[in-house]
């Protein structure tokens, strides 16, 4: 198996989300960042955000700034669902750059993890 898959499975085995404290899962491609709040008990996505869905003027920002904005938007969606806490799941990514910016944006939006 690929080392990324092993790291992802190892971290995922320790993390699980509930309705009260969902899992904030992050995916990063070369161009975009995706994040979603997942209730693992029911197997449902509660809220999701993608940089792809931003308007054109927001796409002119740097990727790191876009990731931070995505975190803030996800935190706003969580507030509307009455969710204050989440479990951060960064998958196999290192905690820096766009992943860290998304987490900081979610924290500044009021989400705790």
Residue 47: pLDDT band with limits 50, 70, 90: very high
13-22: pLDDT as tens digits:
888 888 889 9
Q: Which residue matches tokens 């905690």?
A: 95
What the block records as the tokens of 27 is 């995916």
Percent of the chain with pLDDT over 70: 100
What the block records as the tokens of 30 is 């070369």
Residue 88: pLDDT band with limits 50, 70, 90: very high
What pLDDT shows up at residue 60?
87
pTM of the model: 0.88
Residue 1: is its pLDDT beyond 80? no
Mean pLDDT of 83-109: 94
Q: Domain extents for the chain?
A: 3-108
Name the nearest CA neighbour of 100 among 22, 33, 13, 1.
33
Query: Domain 3-108 is of which CATH architecture?
Result: 2-Layer Sandwich (3.30)
């Amino acid at each position: 198996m690929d080392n990324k898959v092993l790291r992802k499975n190892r971290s995922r085995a320790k993390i699980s989300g509930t309705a009260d404290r969902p899992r904030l899962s992050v995916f990063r491609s070369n161009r975009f960042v995706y994040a979603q709040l997942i209730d693992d008990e029911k197997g449902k996505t509660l809220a999701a955000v993608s940089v792809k869905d931003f308007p054109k003027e927001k796409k002119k920002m740097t990727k790191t700034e876009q990731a931070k904005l995505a975190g803030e938007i996800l935190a706003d969606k969580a507030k509307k669902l009455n969710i204050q806490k989440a479990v951060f799941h960064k998958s196999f990514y290192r905690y820096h750059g766009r992943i860290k910016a998304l987490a900081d944006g979610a924290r500044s939006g009021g989400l705790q993890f």
